[in-house]
């Protein structure tokens, strides 16, 4: 699924490619994704100009003139594309721009959303208001991370990393890769982590994110950049979705185990119970 890095790419691409574009026509095909019906959707967006883009966790926020914002949660399989020449293809949501070009959103499953809100109400909305601190936020410091682990001591580190209500942005793939880099087993309880483990996890996430950015993010499922290019980071995962393959460091077969209903992939040799 698009996690923090992928949605952040989209944020930057909206800034670069779409700011200044005015909506000629907004079309909502799949009303179940939205808080509005198709007519309202169309009415509100018509004539509005894109003025910026933001992100909270995995939610992309596109801001328009007149205090209108569009919030998108792509969930597992959603994606967004910008076309200079609009193709005749299926979509769930389309924004056709004055002049030329369109933004098409498709593939979002039940639970994802494309909502229209007043800009000043964005952070009060379901799906946004309950999100924890954003993993790329400057306020997400090592001290804050320690506090978070301290208040979730009975949970496993994997659960805490992927719980969007605690830390927003990290999903299954990045949590597996971060814990591999930090050499920490995913099912260790937060209360059992040493200071060194905690610092390690906090620090290596940057390394994992930077690597992902260098590869254009991960496109294991649906993510593409606005121009349609896929990311390559998933081809370089060390452990995620690599069950049975050799650990790139020690050669031990990678294990998959369900933790809190989510699959975790790890190397039983490199990732330790104790630091
Ligand atoms: Zn290993």
Do 193 and 99 share a domain, yes or no?
Answer: no
Please report, for residues 3, 52, 83, 199, the alpha-carbon distance to residue 227 in angstroms, rounded to integers and kept in the order given.
18, 18, 7, 37
Q: For residue 1, name the pLDDT band (cuts at 50, 70, 90).
A: confident
Task: Tell if the pTM clears 0.75, that is, is over it.
Answer: yes
pLDDT, tens digit (0-9, with 9 covering 90-100), for 31-43: 999 999 999 999 9
pLDDT tens-place string over residues 85-107: 999 999 999 999 999 899 999 99
The pLDDT of residue 272: 83
**The pLDDT of residue 224 is above 60:** yes
CA 203–ligand 1 middle distance (angstroms): 20
- pLDDT at residue 274 above 80? no
Q: Are residues 188 and 255 in the same domain?
A: yes
Q: How far is the CA of 235 from the centre of ligand 1 (A)?
A: 18
Q: Domain for residue 97, yes or no?
A: yes
CA of 258 to the centre of ligand 1 (A): 19
d(CA 26, CA 38): 9
**Residue 272 domain-assigned?**
no
Mean pLDDT of 35-59: 98
In the chain, how many domains are there?
A: 2
- Residues 137, 255, single domain; the answer is yes
- Identify whether 54 is part of a domain: yes
Distance from Cα 249 to the centre of ligand 1, integer Å: 5
Whether residue 273 has pLDDT greater than 70: yes
Q: Are residues 92 and 163 in the same domain?
A: no
Are residue 31 and residue 151 in the same domain, yes or no? Answer: no
Last residue of a domain, one of 124, 147, 166: 124
Structural domain containing residue 243: 133-266
Q: Which residue has the tokens 């910008």?
A: 82
Q: Give the span between the Cα atoms of 7 and 72, in whole angstroms.
A: 10
pLDDT at residue 108 is higher than 60: yes
Both 26 and 46 in one domain: the answer is yes
- The whole-number pLDDT of residue 275 equals 53
Average pLDDT of span 221-243: 97
**pLDDT(49) > 60:** yes
Residues 22, 117 within the same domain: yes
Say whether both 262 and 139 belong to one domain. Answer: yes
183 CA → ligand 1 middle, Å: 9
Mean pLDDT across the chain: 96
Q: Which two tokens stand for residue 38?
A: 């198709």
- C-beta of residue 49 within 8 angstroms of C-beta of residue 131: no
Domain boundary among 124, 142, 168: 124
Q: Same structural domain for residues 147 and 189?
A: yes
| 150 and 120 within one domain | no
213 and 234 part of one domain? yes
| Ligand 1 centroid to residue 246 C-alpha, Å | 8
Whether residue 245 sits in one domain with residue 188: yes
- CA 261 to ligand 1 center in whole angstroms: 24
Write out pLDDT tens, residues 160-190. 999 999 999 999 999 999 999 999 999 999 9
Q: How far is the CA of 239 from the centre of ligand 1 (A)?
A: 9
Q: At what angle do helices 195-214 and 172-182 cross, to 10 degrees?
A: 120
Distance 116 CA to ligand 1 centre (A): 46
Model pLDDT for residues 134-152, shown as the tens digit of each residue: 999 999 999 999 999 999 9
3-state secondary structure the chain: CCCHHHHHHHHHHHHHHCCCCEEEEEEECCHHHCCCCHHHHHHHHCCCEEEEEEEECCEEEEEECCCEEEEEECCCCCEEEEECCCCCCCCCEEEEECCCCEEEEECCCECEEEEEEEHHHHHHCCCCCCCCEECCCCCCCHHHHHHHHHCCCCCEHHHHHHCCCCEECCCHHHHHHHHHHHCECCCCEHHHCCHHHHHHHHHHHHHHHHHHHHCCCCCCCCCCCCCCCCCCHHHHCCCCCCCCCECCCCCCECEEEEECCEEEEECCCCCECCC
Above 70 in pLDDT, residue 246?
A: yes
CATH of the domain at 210: 1.10.8.50
pLDDT tier for residue 262 given thresholds of 50, 70 and 90: confident
- Do 93 and 114 contact (CB within 8 A), yes or no? yes
């Amino acid at each position: 699924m698009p996690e923090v890095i992928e949605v952040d790419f989209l944020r930057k691409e909206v800034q670069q490619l779409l700011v200044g574009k005015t909506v000629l026509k907004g079309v909502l095909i799949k009303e179940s994704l939205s808080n509005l019906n198709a007519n309202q959707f169309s009415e509100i967006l018509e004539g509005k100009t894109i003025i910026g883009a933001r992100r909270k966790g995995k939610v992309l926020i596109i801001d328009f003139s007149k205090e209108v914002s569009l919030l998108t949660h792509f969930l597992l399989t959603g994606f967004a594309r910008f076309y200079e020449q609009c193709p005749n293809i299926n979509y769930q949501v389309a924004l056709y721009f004055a002049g030329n070009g369109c933004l098409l959103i498709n593939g979002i499953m039940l639970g994802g959303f494309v909502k229209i809100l007043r800009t000043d109400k964005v952070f009060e909305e379901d799906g946004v208001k309950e999100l924890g601190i954003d993993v790329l936020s400057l306020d997400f410091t090592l001290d804050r991370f320690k506090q978070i682990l301290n208040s979730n001591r009975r949970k496993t580190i994997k659960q805490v990393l992927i719980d969007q209500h605690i830390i927003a942005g990290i999903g299954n793939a990045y949590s597996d890769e971060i814990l591999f880099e930090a050499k920490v087993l995913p099912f260790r309880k937060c209360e059992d982590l040493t200071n060194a483990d905690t610092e390690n996890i906090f620090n290596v996430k940057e390394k994992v994110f930077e690597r992902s950015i260098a590869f254009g993010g991960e496109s294991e499922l649906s993510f593409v950049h606005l121009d349609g290019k896929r990311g390559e980071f998933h081809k370089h995962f060390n452990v995620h979705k690599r069950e049975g393959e050799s650990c790139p460091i020690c050669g031990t077969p990678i294990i998959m185990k369900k933790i809190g209903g989510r699959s975790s992939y790890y190397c039983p040799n490199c990732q330790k119970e104790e630091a």
